[in-house]
Amino acid sequence: MRTRTLVLFLRAEGADFDRPRSRRTLDAHASWLQHLEINDRSLLAGIVEDDPRVHSAVVLPWSDEAGSRRFVTTAPGVLDGLLVPEVHPWLAEFDRVRVGAGIDDPREPYVLGFLVRGPGFMGGDSPELKALQSRHLAHLEEMAAARQLVLAGPLVDGGKLRGALLFQGVTADDARVLAEGDPAVRAGRFRVRVHEWSLPAQAVPWAP
């Protein structure tokens, strides 16, 4: 398990995305993400499909949160005020990611899911919470064994987003149903968000 930096590019409130200049900027932003992939400056990068709030996401291959914040200010969408970066340290098995996607590599839909702090979230290490955490981890292992979940781990900045999940080979609706089957979600500790994310095919090969 390694900590790397997940950046969500959120659509700025009040920005006009229908202007010709805005469309050109977003095209340049997509090219910037692809440039990161080709030059091994990212582990995973792509556009988030059909989401009114999140435009795109990238996993940077380092854990320096402050440096990541400075780096993503160079993104065209951020420079033009259309996108706002949200930075999260993510702990997961990133050694499995296939880096160095080529410009002509086919892309396929993945689903990026989040476990969001729910109304029943509480801290501490009570026996009940430890037991719930064990059932939560077992559920993640079951989804991985069924070849539905390719990456999972906590977001360790202590914010509202508590964990990230990467699904392959399932729809966003299916991923939501799978994630909502988590005992910690059913107990109200977490809520679920899902986003369709376009990534290079086999960006994260299945574990043998």
The first and second tokens of residue 124, run together, are: 């501490």
The pLDDT tens digits of the residues spanning 145-163 come to 999 999 999 999 999 999 9
What is the reported pLDDT for 106? Answer: 84
Q: How far apart are CA 137 and CA 139, in angstroms?
A: 5
CB atoms within 10 A of CB 79: 14
Q: Which residues contact 139 (CB under 8 A, 6 or more apart)?
A: 181, 182, 183, 184
* pLDDT computed for residue 71 by the predictor: 96
In whole angstroms, what is the distance from residue 141 CA to residue 122 CA?
A: 23
Q: In terms of pTM, does the model score above 0.75?
A: yes
Quick one: what percent of the chain has pLDDT higher than 90? 77
Q: Which domains does the chain have, with CATH numbers?
A: 2-96 (3.30.70.1060), 107-200 (3.30.70.1060)
pLDDT at 110: 94
* Single-letter amino acid code for the residue at 109: P
Among residues 69, 70, 75, which one has the least CA distance to residue 87?
69
Confidence (pLDDT) at 207: 64
Residue with tokens 């659509």: 11
6-34 pLDDT per residue, tens: 999 999 999 999 999 999 999 999 999 99
Tell me the per-residue pLDDT of 61-87, one tens digit each, with 9 for 90 and over: 999 999 999 999 999 999 999 999 999
Q: Which residue has the tokens 């702090």?
A: 117
